[in-house]
Each structure stands twice: as structure tokens, then as C-alpha cells.
């Protein structure tokens, strides 16, 4: 699953454009971003972040960007998913 700070309609449009095989949820009020510590303090956005969460809720791996342009490469995420 992916979570975006965009409004629900925008998230749905993006998911359709990307053709993702996973749900893209909206966190427009930044409740989830705030809980994970990635909500920007000066803007109503979240910094780019990836969290791999185990079924029991433990965070297996995470990467948090320093700026809006600092994003994890998809191949790095896939590599981490393959690691046991």
C-alpha cells in the first residue's frame, strides 16, 4: 500500500496513471505522516518516506528523505523487499 498527502481524488487519479498493483490511500490531513514523523513542519506536505512494515506491525526498514526531491529509488525498495 502507498499513502499520499494528496486529496483522495488526486490519489486515485495518480494510482490509475501509474497502474500500480497496490492501493494508494489519501492522508490529506497528514495524520499518518505525523504519526510516522514525516509531516513537514512548515508546509502541509510530508517528506518522501518509505516504510516496510511487517504483518505484526514492526517496521522492518525505512528511508526518509531530507527534502521533497530526496526519494528512494524503486530498485532499492525491491532489493529490501527481497532481503530476509
Whole-angstrom distance, CA of residue 24 vs CA of residue 12: 7
| pLDDT number for residue 84 | 65
Written as nine digits, the cell of 74 is 524503486
Q: Do 23 and 51 reside in the same domain of the chain?
A: no
Residues in a beta bridge with 64: 49
| pLDDT number for residue 32 | 93
Q: Do 71 and 30 reside in the same domain of the chain?
A: no
Q: Are 45 and 69 in contact (CB under 8 A)?
A: no
Q: Do 23 and 42 reside in the same domain of the chain?
A: yes
The number of distinct structural domains making up the chain is: 2
- Residues 11-62 pLDDT 10s: 777 777 767 777 888 898 999 999 999 998 777 889 899 999 999 999 999 9
Q: Do 23 and 59 reside in the same domain of the chain?
A: no
Residue 74 has pLDDT above 70, yes or no: yes
φ/ψ region of 22 (left if φ > 0, alpha if ψ in -120 to 50, else beta) reads beta
Q: Do 42 and 30 reside in the same domain of the chain?
A: yes
| Average pLDDT score over residue span 65-74 | 86
Q: 60: domain range?
A: 47-84
pTM for the whole structure: 0.75
| pLDDT number for residue 13 | 77
Amino acid at each position: 500500500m502507498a499513502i499520499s498527502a494528496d486529496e483522495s481524488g488526486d490519489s486515485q487519479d495518480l494510482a490509475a496513471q501509474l497502474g500500480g498493483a497496490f492501493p494508494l490511500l489519501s492522508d490529506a490531513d497528514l495524520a499518518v505522516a505525523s504519526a510516522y514523523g514525516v509531516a513537514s513542519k512548515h508546509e502541509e506536505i510530508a517528506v518522501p518516506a518509505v516504510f516496510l512494515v511487517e504483518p505484526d506491525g514492526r517496521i522492518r526498514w525505512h528511508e526518509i528523505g531530507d527534502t521533497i526531491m530526496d526519494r528512494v529509488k524503486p530498485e532499492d525498495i525491491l532489493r529490501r523487499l527481497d532481503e530476509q
